[in-house]
Structure 1
Amino acid sequence: MKRLLVLSLSLIGLLLNSCKEEPAKDYRDPNLSIDERVEALLPLLSLEEKVAQMRIFHANIGVESDENGNLKLSEKVIEKLKLGIAGIKNPGEHMSPVEAAKFNNKLQMYIIENNRHGIPALFVTESYNGVDAEGSTKFGRPITSAASFNPELVYKVWDIVGREARLRGMHMCHSPEADIVRDPRFGRMSEAFGEDTYLTTQMVTNAIKGVQGDYDGLGNGTHIGAVAKHFAGYGQVLGGTNFAAIEISPRTLIDEIYPPFEAAVKEAKTLGIMASHGDLNGIASHGNPELLNGVLRNQWGFKGYVVSDANDIGRLYYFMKVAESPEAAALMGLSAGVDIDLYAEDAYSYLPALVKKNPEIEKLIDMSVKRVLRTKFILGLFDNPYVDENLAKTSIRSDASLKLAQESDLESIILLKNSNNILPIGKNRSKKIALIGPLLSETTQTDFEAVDGSNSYYADFGFKLTDENKSIPKLIEDNSAGVEKLVNIAKQSDIVILFLGGDEFTSKEAFFNGALGDRATIDPVGQQDELLKKVKALGKPVIVVLKHRRTLSINEIAENADALLDAWDLSELGDNSLAKIIFGEVSPSGKLPVTVPRSIGQLPFHYSMKEINHKKGYLFLEDGPLYPFGFGLSYGSFIYTNLELSNEEITPNSEITVSVDVSNTGKIKAKEVVQMYLKDEIGSVTRPDKELKSFKKIELNPGETKTITFTITPKMLEFTGLKMEKILEAGDYKVMVGTSSKEGLTKEFKLKM
């Protein structure tokens, strides 16, 4: 009996031990996996704390530093931070890198110490000319770097962007843009990488890999996370006006608009995606579960977070008019898959009250919070939330970074015209040069003198294009006095270099608060054409440097300039780079990332439009573009010969090797972008006239020939067919290899199924 009792007690003990719960996992334990740490932290949060992890506010509502460098927070900010926060936009943006590093360390410490679970915040920046903050290296704009046709160079630039941002104490970047931009009326054109799907895909994936340090740089604290934007179709706004509706056919959306975003997710592993201001087929992107959950997450496997564009969840109600109330707008955004609400004081602030009415909503909140927390763990913020302030002194805007900025400039400047080989200008000369025009900068003369070793210059900008109001700039209607001043300067010179185009006031973002930045015409503003004609009438050589942030219809400039350099928007060393090109230290090698139309009336107008779009032109206007996509001259002279295919047939399981000989018959070492285009001769749906599918940038010495090879893969021939599914279609195809989308050697081949 006693033995049975002992056995019974033993069994009870075993049962009790088996029922004991395992020790709770501690989210602060770095030995746990990221998913385990997220799962351990989430149940500890109250509903209000969860929602706080779904909101970002801007530092301008009260995140400052006093005269002694101490934190100075508004009551509103103090109240917000009691619950923690997903992130803060642009803290320390107007401080030097060292001051910003110190400030952001203090701000992060305050946030960690003043929420229950010590959850760090994401500090978020943007990047259009490098890190959008004081003291950072100023690079050329994305569309400028796209003109380099050098993805490896773009990777290096964004690697510096990622490093410089992290050294300031930043963690995420609402960049780069994966949008396709084809309408030069749109003020934000220069923020993206151009009109072509393939070029944009190469550039945006390399930008993301660079800024994220090939993903490895996130956890070790050297780089920041990217937020690819604006998903999807944002650059296609009707009329080119910000916030307008978007009309894209489903087939165009899949074949042309999606690919850069898909590559950003699958290949570059972007940490974030920003939803688009616009709509697709009438469905607002911020309220589109098929887009954000169906395509982005289910089809592509995106694991990061989706952030709203500024205030766009609330706008589902008061602007887009697709939600019945502010609360309904919040629920619509949450259900669609938007994880973070950017800036709004309403929107996701309604979520706790909505959960009380419908507890099931908290499951959606939990999914979003997990994505945000996962991002913070990936970035290592729970273990190493602070930055080394001393590194910011020596590692931001270093000599190596500035050298890279100039290298990018030199490969991005496009030579559009060079009559009688007026360029390059020799340095050993006695001639006086006039540097004039409204796009002249304060340092242009000193930059040219530094390169030329001469002070034989006259320099004056002459007149401004606008009153430079940041919200709604007004054109200065009468520039006649400035024009005459510049003409008189030109009379005293032997060579005239005219700086024309547009600036940050004539092409910019049209904000929701009434600011304008889009244009109804794309002609150069002011009396720039008149200035050029008057200078040209003097009979002196005229070189035009075109600076701009949108494609301009430059018919008068193209006709009257003896030489034309397209510079877009260069780095802080831009004028020095231009001088190196003009004086022949470097041959220009940039190519147009967009088509240059003759008139705004030709829009929409991109090289890869359907073949049927080219059937008819317009009365009283020469057919075709002024300059085609991919065009750009050189000081070298390139000849293409011996285009060969390894096979005249391809199957779904084979490939074709394309080879071509490229020779530099000129007298100077130069770089050339060899471009390969494919054309589907007959399709079951109307097909593009041609599509860029590969390119290589090469450098050749005078007299040198290189054999360049490309590979045609079945993937390159896929398109969305009649049943809205990706297909391969047997038939005839054409390959063109050449120097632009208009000029090259061609061969035909067949796809056999």
Structure 2
Amino acid sequence: MNKAYILILTVLTFIFQTSGQTKASSKDYKNANLSIDERVEALLPLLSLEEKVAQMRIFHANIGVEADEKGNLKLSEKVIEKLKIGIAGIKNPGEHLSPVDAAKLNNELQKYIISHNRWGIPALFVTESYNGVDAAGSTKFGRPMTSAASFNPSLVNRIWDVVGKEARLRGMHMCHSPEADVVRDPRFGRMSEAFGEDTFLTTEMVKNAIIGVQGNYEGLGKGTHIGAVAKHFAGYGQVLGGSNFAAIEISERTLIDEIYPPFETAIKEARTLGIMASHGDLNGIASHGNAALLTGVLRDEWGFDGYVVSDSNDIARLYYFMKVAESPEAAAQMGLEAGIDIDLYAEDSYAYLPEMVKKNPALEKLIDRSVKRVLRTKFILGLFDNPYINMEEVQKGVRAESSLELAKEADLESIILLKNEKNTLPLTKNKSIKIALLGPLLKENTKAMFETVAGKNVSFISEKGFQLTDEKGGAPKLLERDPKAIANLVNIAQNADVTILFLGGDEFTSKEAYFSNSTLGDRATIDPVGAQDELVEKIKALGKPVIVVLKHRRTLSINMIAEKADAILDTWDLSEFGDESTAKIIFGDVSPSGKLPVTVPRSIGQMPFHYSMKEINFKKGYLFLEDGPLYPFGFGLSYATFEYPDIKLSSSEITPNSEITASVTVKNTGTVKAKEVVQMYLKDEIGSVTRPDKELKGFEKIELNPGESKTVTFTITPKMLEFTGIKMEKIFEAGDYRVMIGTSSKNYLESNFKLKN
């Protein structure tokens, strides 16, 4: 056998063996019996560099994913080109279609994607959720801030369970929600997207939202739920001036003790699949280029193993907006090194990575790191094994009767009674009464909803009167005062027995201020806009009962309303059945039980102004302004009255290795069945660093019949007393502590205990 023949035989054997290995590897990632990590490791080496980078990019469906006249998938040339080598995901495909049509479209889209990339890698279809799934035909729930007012985490869990199911039935897989931001500035247009000003309340709500939307994590692989992307990490709700895209300045101690906990819990307890980085910088370091934040804190400290996605175009903005990168390519490298795994929307960022690797091959290792995280997510969601939606399940699963009833239930638990002078509410259904439904926040179907609840004895007349703005989407303008419209409303009220005014703000007076200079959503003041105060004053002057239904997406300084109205119901932004639920509260079908998830200031000049600020912040008030908030955090009245006789502690001492309990027996001393939120606050009397005035550390919502009592017990743990000390380490400090249990952050009983080392 000559040497040439031996050489040829050796080469052919090598090629055959190598080819066999490649084929075996290509099959391994499809083997459902292997672990997810094994499948990821089998698939990654098969991908070209360009295919890897494609798994790090998401584009929006509005660039050319739609249904044609017959409801079939129609793709633009731009989309077809993008999908040749696969894609990480697509945002909002089918969002304007019915659930059935969206599911059909997304099945066709997924089939196209799988069949048009070499390895059959499915894509993530991504939605958002502020009032339920942000798509046509889904159950519309109240906003997160609204549901936070329920102080009922299990209710929030059930809401987001429905969100997860309805989204998956549309063919969606991930949700750029919930917001884990703590929001304390009502100038910020996105305020209602979050769960309030308090760290503990936000943490509980975010945890339950994520567990719900992910089906307790088990629903991901079963194909019944979607993955959550908690956002915006970190500190986004603290933008200076309440202005979107502004700088974020937070002390390191505040960041650790107050801003991080909802995110940490989202990762460690709720097991969120994704995290979205913040638009802003954080104490001078752009969040999308902050390796200490996105890798050091998220992964090294908290053990996060999901993916991090950029906010819209924000990696590229490291160059042209943040101006911390010298070039678009430098911005892409900065984001990659920091730990951003997916680039959302941009064409001028991660798109450059293949060419960048030619000059700097070391970048491919970081690319591999990110691609593994994306592929792992797709395997967790079961997309390689079951990428399509069962069309037979869609119609009965979306807007099920149980989901609609849940929306109503959530409304009833979230409405807050702020004022009820001389027991104006509830109104009676048993005698003939004429009610005027008036004001700029009145809806077309409000009258019909009230008539359904009130019955035959009550008659209604309704008139919107005027709009607040021209309702232009980008930068709406306030409309001029209309004296004729105001006079007409006053005249209608004159001929009614009771007036219910629908006031506050809407989606045009509080909204996201997108990057475009022509789009605004934040406000410099928080007074009700337009002639609303004048309307309240003039109708109150008629000498008849005035009830205000306050609708809004940001906290408003409602001084005139608080002074003149006989009763005020704060409804924030309720579900599609919101006015029906409001009517049920007004006519006493249910007693209100919502509590304020934020402090209501008297003036924007008091900001920052949340209940848990350091004690020293409350030393001084302002000239010519009454001291304190208009309404405190945790406040909310009921048609019942509740008696809190005393607090009982299991011990007057606690150690770093022990716990104590604090109990209170609450009695319904009223005449109606009602729910009450029992709240527990703790205060460190003396600390080595200045400490909060008080901090919410527990709450429980209970329901009591007239005369019924219930004992509520809270466990006080050493973890609740932990804070970041002088040396920037988490510590317990021996000394005196106060426990406060009551009905709000201003109305409570108190007792004392000591922490002993």
TM-score (norm 1): 0.97
Residue 505 (str. 1) matches residue 518 (str. 2):
no
Residue 556 (str. 1) matches residue 560 (str. 2): yes
Amino acid paired to 1:428? N
Q: Report what 1:14 is aligned to.
A: none
One-letter amino acid of the counterpart of residue 345, structure 2: Y
Given residue 235 of structure 1, which amino acid in structure 2 is its aligned partner?
Answer: G
- Partner Cα distance (2:485, 2:175) in 1: 41
Gaps of 5+ in 1: 1-16
Task: Name the count of aligned residue pairs.
Answer: 735
Matched, 1:621 2:625: yes
Secondary structure in 2 matching 1:68 = coil
Cα distance in 2, alignment partners of residues 667 and 356 from structure 1:
77
Q: Which residue of 1 is the match for residue 260 of structure 2? A: 258
Offset at 1:70? 1.7
The aligned residue for residue 71 of structure 1 is 73
Aligned to 2:52: 50
Structure 1 residue corresponding to 2:459, chosen from 441, 456, 459? 456
Aligned letter for 1:732? D
C-alpha separation in 1, matches of 2:524 and 2:283: 25
The equivalences for 1:440-451 within 5 A come to: 440-451=442-453
SS of the residue corresponding to residue 35 of structure 1 reads: helix
Q: CA deviation at 1:705?
A: 1.1
In structure 2, the residue matched to 1:646 is 650
Amino acid at match of 1:630: G
Per the alignment, residue 496 of structure 2 pairs with: 493
Preserved CA contact (<8 Å) 1:112 1:119: yes
Q: In the alignment, which residue of structure 1 is the partner of 2:755? A: 751
- Structure 1 residues 301-340: aligned runs within 5 Å: 301-340=303-342
Taking the TM superposition and a 5 Å limit, the aligned residue runs for 1:1-400 are 24=25, 26-400=28-402
State the alpha-carbon separation in 1 of the partners of residues 700 and 381 from structure 2.
34
1:143 is displaced (CA, Å) by 0.2
- Residue 483 of structure 1, CA deviation: 1.1
Q: CA shift at 1:642, angstroms?
A: 2.3
Residue 411 of structure 2 corresponds to: 409
Question: Deviation of residue 479 (structure 1)?
Answer: 2.6
Q: What CA distance in whole angstroms lies between the structure 2 residues aligned with 1:624 and 1:704?
A: 34
- Aligned amino acid, residue 376 of structure 2: R
Q: Give the aligned partner of residue 708 of structure 1.
A: 712
Q: Secondary structure at the match of 1:303?
A: coil
* In structure 2, C-alpha distance between the alignment counterparts of 1:708 and 1:163, rounded to whole Å: 34
Residue of structure 2 in register with 1:418 after alignment: 420
Distance in 1 (CA, whole Å) between partners of 2:516 and 2:603 is 31
CA RMSD in angstroms comes to 1.0
SS of the residue aligned with 2:391?
A: coil
- Look up the SS of the partner of 1:82 in the other structure: helix
Choose the corresponding residue for 1:720, options 716, 719, 724. Answer: 724
What secondary structure sits across from 2:101 in the alignment? helix
Q: Distance in 2 between matches of 1:564 and 1:750?
A: 41
Following TM superposition, by how much is the alpha carbon of 1:427 offset from its aligned partner in structure 2, in angstroms? 0.5
CA contact (8 A) 1:733 1:751 kept: yes
Q: Does 1:594 align with 2:604?
A: no
Separation in structure 2 between the aligned mates of residue 331 and residue 350 of structure 1, nearest angstrom:
9
Task: Name the counterpart of 2:8.
Answer: none
1:21–1:527 Cα change, 3 Å: closer
Q: Which residue of 1 aligns with 2:576?
A: 572
CA distance in 2, matches of 1:571, 1:175: 18
Tell me the distance in 2 between the aligned counterparts of 1:48 and 1:657. Answer: 59
- Deviation of 1:694 (Å): 0.3
Q: Which amino acid aligns with 1:679?
A: K
How far does the alpha carbon of each residue in 1:545-596 deviate from its partner, in whole angstroms, 9 at most, with x for none? 0000000000000000000000000000000000000000000000000000
For 2:280 and 2:723, the matched residues in 1 are separated by: 25
Instruction: Report SS of the residue matched to 2:431.
Output: coil
Residue 69 (structure 1) shift: 1.4
Task: Return the alpha-carbon distance in structure 1 between the equivalents of residues 399 and 508 of structure 2.
Answer: 26
Contact 1:138 1:572 in 2 (8 A): yes
- Does the 8 Å CA contact 1:49/1:83 hold for their aligned counterparts? yes
Runs of 4 or more off by more than 6 Å in structure 1? none
- CA shift, 1:394, in A, is 1.4
Cα pair 1:151 1:206 within 8 Å, conserved: yes
Q: Give how far 1:402 is off.
A: 0.5
Bigger shift: residues 64-73 or 414-423: 64-73
Is 1:148–1:590's contact at 8 Å kept on the other side of the alignment?
yes
Q: Hey, what's the Cα distance between the residues in 1 that align with 2:443 and 2:593?
A: 23
Contact 1:677 1:692 in 2 (8 A): yes
Q: How does 1:655-674 map to 2 (within 5 A)?
A: 655-674=659-678
Structure 1 Cα separation of the partners of residues 639 and 628 of structure 2 = 25
2:12 aligns to what?
A: none
Q: Determine if contact 1:98/1:390 at 8 Å carries over to the other structure.
A: no
Quick one: which amino acid aligns to residue 80 of structure 2? I
Which residue of the partner structure matches residue 12 of structure 1? none
**C-alpha separation in 2, matches of 1:238 and 1:266:** 29
Question: The residue matched to 2:79 in structure 1 has which SS?
Answer: helix
Distance in 1 of aligned mates of 2:157 and 2:385: 28
Choose from 603, 608, 618 the match for 1:604. 608
State the SS of the aligned residue for 2:645: strand
Secondary structure of 2:244's counterpart equals: coil
SS of residue paired to 1:390: helix
Look up the match of 2:536.
Answer: 532
1:213–1:223 contact (8 Å) kept in structure 2: yes
Structure 2 match to 1:547: 551
Structure 2 CA distance, aligned partners of 1:480 and 1:302?
Answer: 58
Q: Cα deviations across residues 87-123 of structure 1 (Å, max 9, x unaligned)?
A: 0000000000000000000000000000111000000
Identity of aligned residues (%): 78
Measured in 1, the distance between the counterparts of 2:483 and 2:294 equals 53
Rounded to whole Å, the distance in 2 between the matches of 1:260 and 1:379 is 24
SS at match of 2:246: coil
Matched-pair contact (CA < 8 Å) for 1:436–1:461: yes
Secondary structure at the residue paired with 1:609? coil
Q: Secondary structure at the match of 2:507?
A: coil
CA–CA distance in 2 between the matches of 1:393 and 1:361? 46
The one-character-per-residue Cα deviations of 1:578-633 (angstroms, maximum 9, x if unpaired) are 00000000000000000000000000000000000001100000110000000000
SS in 2 for 1:674: strand
8 A Cα contact 1:479 1:526, kept in partner? no
Contact 1:536 1:560 in 2 (8 A): yes
Give me the whole-angstrom Cα distance separating, in 1, the residues matched to 2:413 and 2:74: 44
Residue of structure 2 equivalent to 1:3? none
Distance in 1, matches of 2:230 and 2:552, equals 24
- Structure 1 residues 456 and 21, CA, compared in 2 at 3 Å: closer, same or farther? closer
One-letter code aligned to 2:350: Y
Give the Cα–Cα distance (whole angstroms) in 2 for the partners of residues 630 and 542 of structure 1. 25
- The AA in structure 1 aligned to 2:490 is V
Q: Find the counterpart in structure 1 of residue 14 from structure 2.
A: none
Q: Which amino acid aligns with 1:174?
A: H
Unaligned runs of 5+ in 2: 1-16
Aligned partner of 2:630: which letter? L
1:472 equivalent to 2:475? Answer yes
Q: Do 1:659 and 1:709's aligned partners in 2 also have CA atoms closer than 8 Å? A: yes
Task: Return the letter of the residue paired with 1:269.
Answer: R
Cα distance in structure 1, aligned partners of 2:43 and 2:480? 61
How big is the shift at 1:21? 7.7
